[in-house]
Chain A
Amino acid sequence: MLAWKSLQKSPFDMLTYQDIILKLKGYWAERGCVVTEPLDVEVGAGTMCPETFLRVLGPDPYKAVYVQPSRRPADGRYGDNPNRLYKHMQLQVILKPAPEDVIELYMQSLEAIGIDLSKHDWKLEEDNWESPTLGAWGVGWQVMLDGLEITQFTYFQQCGGVDLELVPAELTYGLERLTAFIQNVDSVYDIQWNDDRTYRDVRFADERQYSVYNFEVADVDMVWKEFALHEQEGQRLVDLFNQLEDPVEIARFPLLAAHDQTLKCSHLFNILDARGAISVTERVGVIQRVRNLAVGVAQAWMQQQHGAAKEVAA
């Protein structure tokens, strides 16, 4: 470990991984964002967190920044691949509604982490986003810095099958890539996490062990059972909510817990998928089941928080 470290000795002025996170959070905090810690349920992307998925619904402005560990079981590479991770970190910024100078604000955030944009090629290339399982889509760009995609920039249009009243801008920074770029290293594992520790020191075990679990060890039957249980619980909650009439009962109903169940299902689906355990006939149906739950929760949330009329879930 030590010998390796000495080869990678970085100059003092270089920002570490955690510096970059702290600076970006600070930058957006100064611009009015609520700083939250990651959601404590496994998700595939920061978009699925209630801070984004539910907050973008309805007429209330909201600004938030958080780092979300995002798990994609099929992307695991046992810690062998320099660019691909089972669990990568997204820094997620939600600005609702999107301010007029949102692109300038974003550019300044890059300058806040030491990227001199007068020396780098910066382009916005069309990249629209769609998540069938969340009934959500938006349009936007991938932000390219010297040919590297560092951020996904999306103007949300619909979420949980609901047209959005205020269009939010979602900025998703790929923190590992961004740091590798800034630190000029070829492998994410060579990133300096802080002055003493590399990304490898902190995360290698996660990458290796979860790859083994997801690809080799996960008990498929049990994961299926878990999936069914979470789906059942989520659906039970949505159904219960939909029967409520009393405004007080409606207001205190635990829809956030129902959303957790959706996220659990989504993650378990990803594990089953990585494991190659979902057959042809099942696959489309399973995606549809997760989507039904996501849409059901989103519509219930609209009723609970924003008094939307009850609709029959699609």
Chain B
Amino acid sequence: MSEFLLEVGVEEIPDWMIEGALKDLEKRFLAALDKADLREGVTTRTAATPRRLTLIAEGLAEGQADKQEKLSGPPKNVAFDADGNPTKAGLGFAKRAGVEASALEVGPDGKLFIERKIAGRPTTEILAESLPEAILGVYFPKNMYWTGKAGPRFIRPVRRIVALLNGSVVPFEIAGVASGNRTFGHRRLGQSELEVSSVAEYEKALSENGVFLSADERRERISSGAAEALEAIPGAKLRANDKLFRTLVYLTEYPTVIRGEFEETYLDLPDEIIETVMLVHQKYFAIEDASTGKLSNGFIAVANLDGDPEGEIRRGAERVLRARFNDAQFFWAADEKKPLAARVEDLKAVTFQAELGSYHDKITAMRGLAAKLGAAAGVDSAVVQAADRAAELSKTDLTTEMVGEFPELQGVMGGLYAKAQGESQEVADAIYHHYKPAGQGAEIPPTVAGRLVALSDKLHTLGGMFRLGKIPTGSRDPFALRRAAYGIIQILVKGELAVSIDQLVEMADAGEHASALRDFLVERLRYYLGEQGHKYDEINAVLAASDAEPLDADRRAKAIAEVRPTENFVSLAAGFKRIRNILEKAGGVDVYAQKELDESKLEGGAERALFDAYQQLRRDVQSQTDYAASLQGIASLRPQVDQFFDDVLVMAKDEAVRENRLTFLAQLLREFSTIADFSEIVVE
């Protein structure tokens, strides 16, 4: 079995980029094989540490298969003159085909042709040619150049390349680094020059030189190491954190767990601060009591080394943690000297956005918006009052030392300080959660007051930016306006607040860009519904009926998804589509929907039956608040609709009958398209 080994040795790659880069490398490698017709039968696997991206392929052919190529040329009578001597055209073709004119043959179509064999090229040659591009093409979010501005770009400097096909070097070069057969070990636990001639030797060399090549192995080493370290503490458990786990797996080549402790007095700090210091800043796992879930005064660090026999690493980690907790205590005490309420004025000196003014301007606007949103959604006045207070204080934590040090705690600190300073629980909660939702599928603020504050914050940003014409285009969205708009939709829907998009747009005050803002919000609503798993035609049907209110649109979309699998639905949709087509050909739905219907002109039989069913159903649907039940009802019209089309000629000769019939159909269509526009449903 043939084998190919590629290792790109790079200076420490940012941990969060590694998995994506590996996938991309694999994709580009396979694409290169594909292009050269070498992909078949090839299996690949990849692995990475912070310093190496490795790809191993098996089943590569030795080279491309030979190919027969047929080249056709001019007709015989053009290529040769009457005497049988080659003309200019004939000679030209012979030259192109690389043969003597006498070797040209004539095909059944009377044209000259030549068949020739194209020898396949050896795989090593193809790889040598395509690998530099495949490697340098790997996507990273922020590249650099290192040999100078004319040089190649990559995430960090490429320092070593191993490329071996069945033990032989595949020769190429990137930025002056020639591929070879030498890998390298861990910076302190291994040799820096390790000659290898096979995948097996490569893997062995790394494992003997301080490198766990497999991310799974490193992960396993961390989790079993942590479990072992915690055996000494009864009831202790690692506070799970997948993101931190992955970070540590890709920050180390030889992960070793180290357990440390800090003074219990620091547990008086809020958990949010302790966790931010440990997880985010120090990348240490927190330890909790398995039964109560409370934080304990221990932590788990992961070193990139084989051990800590003298406890140096543990002591260092403990000291750093102590210093940071000390800072946090210092900040808390300093911040307490000036309550949030006394910081509102200070916000005049904190810029929100150059053209939109200060954070003081922002909270003033937010308070107005929270009141309007509360009124629009029919929220209790006590809750609106809490939201008003929360909005007023919401940004004051930006002036605290703690948020200066831990910007990721903005909002959270405001909530904690508000609570400590005697604001009501409702106000404190609303401040605490007002940056939510953090992204797709993230939780929204848990209280109504918090939702109003979060909505007003996002709406103020959106309105202001649109007013300035700073509208996201393509992938450019520097102010994260898509996320803000998506957050608004999520809060309205999941928080069950019935506020319409037009109301939002009016409140947002986007000036001349109001309609762009409306489109932007509808677009996010469409995206949200898609993320909920609705099919695109269902979303079209819902939004074509009405895009006025996100909460309502979500309910209607759910109803369609529920009713769609039932027996009549799709056929009825086909019937409705037919009705719409007829009406559009006849001049448009709107034209007829406005006309007066004359019941006496309806024919007996199928038309009358459909009308009677329509009349009955209309009352049911109007009194029905359950969209799914209404849709079920409408779907039950199917037999009458089918019968109608079987028996009745819509475009009757008699103009009065025809007009009346079209009017009936337009009204039926209009009446039953308020939940969803059925004609948007794709019928297979």
Residues of A within 8 A of B (CB): 81-84, 97-98, 100, 103, 107, 117-126, 128, 138-139, 141, 145-148, 155, 157, 163-167, 181, 184, 186, 276, 278-281, 283-284
A121 engages B14 (CB within 8 Å):
no
B316 engages A139 (CB within 8 Å):
no
If A121-B305, A139-B142, A276-B349 touch, does A147 touch B326 (CB 8 Å cutoff)?
no
Q: Which of B93-150 contact A (CB under 8 A)?
A: 142, 144-149
Task: Choose among B188, B310, B315, B322 the residue with the greatest number of A CB atoms under 10 Å from its CB.
Answer: B188
Given A100-B157, A100-B159, 12 more A-B residue pairs with CB atoms under 8 Å apart are: A81-B327, A103-B11, A107-B187, A121-B301, A121-B303, A124-B11, A125-B251, A147-B320, A148-B316, A157-B145, A166-B148, A280-B358
Residue interface mask B306-337, A partner, CB < 8 A = 1: 00111011011101111100110010000000
Kindly provide the distance from the CB of A245 to the nearest chain B CB, expressed in whole angstroms. Answer: 28
Partner of A165, one of B149, B188, B322: B149
* Closest Cβ neighbor of B256 among chain A residues: A121
Partner of A186, one of B50, B251, B283, B323: B323
Give the total of B residues in contact with A, Cβ under 8 Å.
51
* Closest Cβ neighbor of A126 among chain B residues: B14
Partner of A155, one of B146, B149, B350: B146
B358 engages A186 (CB within 8 Å):
no
A164 engages B349 (CB within 8 Å):
no
B357 touches A (CB below 8 Å): yes
If A117-B188, A119-B310 touch, does A147 touch B323 (CB 8 Å cutoff)?
no
A141 engages B12 (CB within 8 Å):
yes
Q: For the complex, what is the distance from the CA of A178 to the CA of B541, rounded to whole Å?
A: 65
Kindly provide the distance from the CB of A147 to the nearest chain B CB, expressed in whole angstroms. Answer: 4
B146 engages A98 (CB within 8 Å):
yes
Q: For the complex, what is the distance from the CA of A97 to the CA of B147, rounded to whole Å?
A: 8
A146 engages B317 (CB within 8 Å):
yes
Query: Chain B residues near A103 (CB, 8 Å)?
Result: 11, 187
Partner of A284, one of B144, B319, B320, B354: B354
Q: For the complex, what is the distance from the CA of A154 to the CA of B251, rounded to whole Å?
A: 18
Query: Chain B residues near A97 (CB, 8 Å)?
Result: 147-148
Query: Chain A residues near B308 (CB, 8 Å)?
Result: 119, 121
B145 engages A167 (CB within 8 Å):
yes
Partner of A146, one of B149, B251, B313: B313
A147 engages B301 (CB within 8 Å):
yes
Partner of A83, one of B283, B301, B327: B327
Q: For the complex, what is the distance from the CA of A124 to the CA of B10, rounded to whole Å?
A: 13
Query: Chain B residues near A155 (CB, 8 Å)?
Result: 144, 146, 157
A148 engages B146 (CB within 8 Å):
no
B144 engages A139 (CB within 8 Å):
yes
Q: For the complex, what is the distance from the CA of A181 to the CA of B320, rounded to whole Å?
A: 9
Residue interface mask B177-195, A partner, CB < 8 A = 1: 0000000000110000000
B77 touches A (CB below 8 Å): no
Query: Chain B residues near A124 (CB, 8 Å)?
Result: 11-12, 50
Query: Chain A residues near B327 (CB, 8 Å)?
Result: 81, 83-84
Q: For the complex, what is the distance from the CA of A120 to the CA of B144, rounded to whole Å?
A: 29
Query: Chain A residues near B159 (CB, 8 Å)?
Result: 100
Kindly provide the distance from the CB of B168 to the nearest chain A CB, expressed in whole angstroms. Answer: 26
Q: For the complex, what is the distance from the CA of A14 to the CA of B304, rounded to whole Å?
A: 26
B320 engages A148 (CB within 8 Å):
yes
Partner of B149, one of A83, A121, A164: A164
* Closest Cβ neighbor of B260 among chain A residues: A147
Q: Which of B265-289 contact A (CB under 8 A)?
A: 282-284
Q: For the complex, what is the distance from the CA of A148 to the CA of B316, rounded to whole Å?
A: 8
Query: Chain A residues near B15 (CB, 8 Å)?
Result: 125-126
B145 engages A121 (CB within 8 Å):
no
Kindly provide the distance from the CB of A277 to the nearest chain B CB, expressed in whole angstroms. Answer: 9
Q: Which of B350-384 contact A (CB under 8 A)?
A: 350-351, 354, 357-358
Q: For the complex, what is the distance from the CA of A181 to the CA of B416, rounded to whole Å?
A: 33
Partner of B349, one of A107, A120, A181, A280: A280
B348 touches A (CB below 8 Å): yes
Kindly provide the distance from the CB of A142 to the nearest chain B CB, expressed in whole angstroms. Answer: 11
If A128-B142, A146-B317 touch, does A82 touch B323 (CB 8 Å cutoff)?
yes
Kindly provide the distance from the CB of B335 to the nearest chain A CB, expressed in whole angstroms. Answer: 14
A280 engages B350 (CB within 8 Å):
yes
Query: Chain A residues near B157 (CB, 8 Å)?
Result: 98, 100, 155
B321 engages A147 (CB within 8 Å):
yes
Query: Chain B residues near A166 (CB, 8 Å)?
Result: 148
B351 engages A280 (CB within 8 Å):
yes
A279 engages B349 (CB within 8 Å):
yes
Query: Chain B residues near A98 (CB, 8 Å)?
Result: 146, 157
Query: Chain B residues near A181 (CB, 8 Å)?
Result: 316
A280 engages B348 (CB within 8 Å):
yes
Q: For the complex, what is the distance from the CA of A183 to the CA of B42, rounded to whole Å?
A: 57
Partner of B316, one of A82, A147, A278: A147
Q: For the complex, what is the distance from the CA of A8 to the CA of B313, rounded to whole Å?
A: 23
* Interface pairs (10), CB distance under 8 Å: A83-B323, A138-B144, A146-B312, A146-B317, A146-B320, A147-B321, A155-B146, A165-B149, A167-B148, A279-B349
Query: Chain A residues near B350 (CB, 8 Å)?
Result: 280
A123 engages B304 (CB within 8 Å):
yes
Query: Chain A residues near B348 (CB, 8 Å)?
Result: 279-280
Q: For the complex, what is the distance from the CA of A281 to the CA of B357, rounded to whole Å?
A: 8
B351 engages A284 (CB within 8 Å):
yes
Query: Chain B residues near A141 (CB, 8 Å)?
Result: 12
A82 engages B326 (CB within 8 Å):
yes
Query: Chain B residues near A279 (CB, 8 Å)?
Result: 348-349
Kindly provide the distance from the CB of B30 to the nearest chain A CB, expressed in whole angstroms. Answer: 28
Query: Chain A residues near B304 (CB, 8 Å)?
Result: 121-123
B351 engages A283 (CB within 8 Å):
yes
Kindly provide the distance from the CB of A154 to the nearest chain B CB, expressed in whole angstroms. Answer: 10
Kindly provide the distance from the CB of A124 to the nearest chain B CB, expressed in whole angstroms. Answer: 4
* Closest Cβ neighbor of B347 among chain A residues: A280
Query: Chain B residues near A186 (CB, 8 Å)?
Result: 319, 322-323
* Closest Cβ neighbor of A127 among chain B residues: B14
* Closest Cβ neighbor of A277 among chain B residues: B349
Partner of A167, one of B147, B252, B301, B358: B147
Query: Chain B residues near A147 (CB, 8 Å)?
Result: 282-284, 301, 316-317, 320-321
* Closest Cβ neighbor of B247 among chain A residues: A125
Query: Chain B residues near A82 (CB, 8 Å)?
Result: 323, 326
Kindly provide the distance from the CB of B120 to the nearest chain A CB, expressed in whole angstroms. Answer: 38
Query: Chain A residues near B252 (CB, 8 Å)?
Result: 123
Query: Chain A residues near B319 (CB, 8 Å)?
Result: 148, 184, 186
A120 engages B313 (CB within 8 Å):
yes
Query: Chain B residues near A120 (CB, 8 Å)?
Result: 305, 312-313, 316
Q: For the complex, what is the distance from the CA of A281 to the CA of B354, rounded to whole Å?
A: 7
Query: Chain B residues near A278 (CB, 8 Å)?
Result: 349
Query: Chain A residues near B14 (CB, 8 Å)?
Result: 126
* Closest Cβ neighbor of A285 among chain B residues: B354
Kindly provide the distance from the CB of A169 to the nearest chain B CB, expressed in whole angstroms. Answer: 9
Per CB-CB distance, the 9 closest pairs between chain A and chain B, nearest first, are: A146-B316, A126-B14, A121-B303, A124-B12, A147-B320, A280-B358, A163-B149, A147-B317, A139-B144
B251 engages A123 (CB within 8 Å):
yes
Q: For the complex, what is the distance from the CA of A124 to the CA of B284, rounded to whole Å?
A: 16
Kindly provide the distance from the CB of B196 to the nearest chain A CB, expressed in whole angstroms. Answer: 21
* Closest Cβ neighbor of A187 among chain B residues: B323
Q: For the complex, what is the distance from the CA of A148 to the CA of B312, rounded to whole Å?
A: 13
Query: Chain A residues near B301 (CB, 8 Å)?
Result: 121, 147
Q: For the complex, what is the distance from the CA of A128 to the CA of B156, rounded to whole Å?
A: 12
* Closest Cβ neighbor of A145 among chain B residues: B316
Q: For the complex, what is the distance from the CA of A133 to the CA of B11, rounded to whole Å?
A: 29
Q: For the complex, what is the distance from the CA of A120 to the CA of B256, rounded to whole Å?
A: 12
